[in-house]
Amino acid sequence: MTKISIIGAGSAFTQEIAMDILLIDGLEGGTIALVDIDAERLEIARKLVVRIIGLTGKKWEVLASTDRREVMAGSQFVINQIEVGGLQTVRYEYEIPLKYGVNQCIGDTLGPGGLFKTLRTLPSWMEIVRDIEDLCPDTTILNYTNPMSAVTLLTSRITSIPVVGLCHSIQNTSNQLAKYAGVPYEELQWRAGGINHMSWFTELTHQGQDLYPLLKEKIKSPDLLRKDPVRFDAMKYLGAFVSESSGHFSEYIPYYRKRQSLIDLHCSSGYNGATGYYADNWPLWRKENDEKILQQLEGTLPLELESSNEYAAIIIEAMLKNEPKVIYGNVPNQGLIPNLPLDGVVEVACMVDRNGINPCHFGSLPEHLAALCRSNMAFFDLAVGAVLGNDKEMARHALMVDPLSAAVCSLAEIGEMFEELYAAEHDFIQVLK
């Protein structure tokens, strides 16, 4: 019988992922185990999944507990979506760096925000992995928690259990590119590879025609350029479109957020790069999502049975039914992209079947694109090493190689910023020596 555990079930991902799983054709029953340390949000998630099961008419059992060891034994799949101390720290991670000139839009992957989210998240996740090894060692781990690369990298270094990091940026970006180019999505062809939030569409064609000359011509129109300002500007100079939104991507490279004139020119509203967008809105989004689910449970909002474009259920279906599917996953490199660190984590196409997740060899990236990925991978390597080695100096060095912090601050200023953040978040992170 199929058993799937969702850790951090209070997350906004649960509705889409549970819906996708329950809509798998031919998978009529099993057990979904929900875990969250917030009992109130766990109960909302439990009621939601029970309601979806009722709408599908299938025969699934739902277990829910604030103690993961009570419910996760024997799981074939463990889906990670935990958030550690985010509500209490989101203002620190935006406002303290801003004092030093480090202007973040999202701040959950790289930069000061990404570093301290890593320091908050990984110790808790390590404890969960040890329980997975004890209770369901034959499982496959599907990770949705950001910082995606850091969480997946750490997992690959502490356990032999298969892990894949999952995102929706390739799905979403390929859809956007089809619309930007004015071609049917079903006819778009591409090759994409790199790291999470910085995968590069190195080939983009329609019926054998390279679409990049067309896109470069089309962005001469200010209207199109405004729709994705950072990514289109980077495409113009770097020659390839990147997989993550303009706002996220602007933080991972040193070119767009290092002075106000550039922010005004390239980083507009919302996910296109607005200053403090995540810090200002994430607590509100979380509250609104909970309220929406409660309204769906009460029947005042419809709960539609619709599949999403997330990869978790695609993997589960492919493995259980041995029906090969292709997803884009974050996996240990091991030569998949030879000019990126072999012991790092990369994002590539993967074929999934009963044998599990089988990454596809991508080959070398153009060197200038690889260099931008390597700058981020060095940050992740240091941040993960800091947690594994309980090494405060290594964590400080991670911030010193962060592209945005380095573009704005001196080494002394980065050190001061690190210490101020460390003091502010002392209660939320593992004490480093």
Alpha carbons 258 and 267: distance in angstroms, whole number:
11
Please list, in sequence order, all residues whose beta carbon lies within 8 angstroms of the beta carbon of residue 109, skipping any fewer than 6 positions away. Answer: 117, 146, 147, 148, 149, 196, 197, 248, 251, 252
Half-sphere exposure of 72 (CA within 13 A, CB side): 31
Contact 55, 29 (CB under 8 A): no
Report which secondary-structure segment, H or E, holds 164: strand 163-165
Please list, in sequence order, all residues whose beta carbon lies within 8 angstroms of the beta carbon of residue 346, skipping any fewer than 6 positions away. Answer: 193, 194, 195, 330, 331, 332, 333, 336, 337, 340, 362
What CATH topology corresponds to 3-87+114-168+301-312? Answer: Rossmann fold (3.40.50)
Strand, coil or helix: what is 178? helix
Contact 366, 239 (CB under 8 A): yes
The DSSP bridge pattern shows strands 241-242 and 209-210 to be unpaired
Question: Tokens 């390239």 belong to which residue?
Answer: 266
- Per the annotation, the verdict on 426 as an active-site residue is no
Check for a shared fold between 3-87+114-168+301-312 and 88-113+169-275+313-433.
Answer: no
Alpha carbons 279 and 50: distance in angstroms, whole number:
32
Q: DSSP E strands: which ranges in 282-432?
A: 325-332, 345-353, 356-359
For each successive 10 residues of the chain (433 residues), what is the average pLDDT? 96 93 96 97 96 96 98 98 91 96 95 97 97 98 97 98 97 97 97 98 98 96 93 97 96 96 90 91 88 92 93 98 97 98 98 98 98 98 97 98 98 98 93 79
DSSP category for residue 426: T
Report which secondary-structure segment, H or E, holds 195: strand 188-195
Alpha carbons 230 and 244: distance in angstroms, whole number:
10
Contact 193, 347 (CB under 8 A): yes
- Domain extents for the chain? 3-87+114-168+301-312, 88-113+169-275+313-433
Six-digit token pair at 72?
A: 């996760």
DSSP category for residue 37: S
Strand, coil or helix: what is 191? strand
What CATH topology corresponds to 88-113+169-275+313-433? Answer: L-2-Hydroxyisocaproate Dehydrogenase; Chain A, domain 2 (3.90.110)
Six-digit token pair at 287?
A: 């509250």
CB count in 10 Å sphere of residue 23: 18
pLDDT at 393 (0 to 100): 97
Report which secondary-structure segment, H or E, holds 6: strand 3-7
DSSP category for residue 137: T
Could you tell me the CA-to-CA distances from 56 to 304, 306, 312, 404 in Å, in that order?
Answer: 11, 11, 19, 47
Contact 143, 120 (CB under 8 A): no
Q: What is the phi/psi pair of residue 93, to 5°?
A: -75, -15
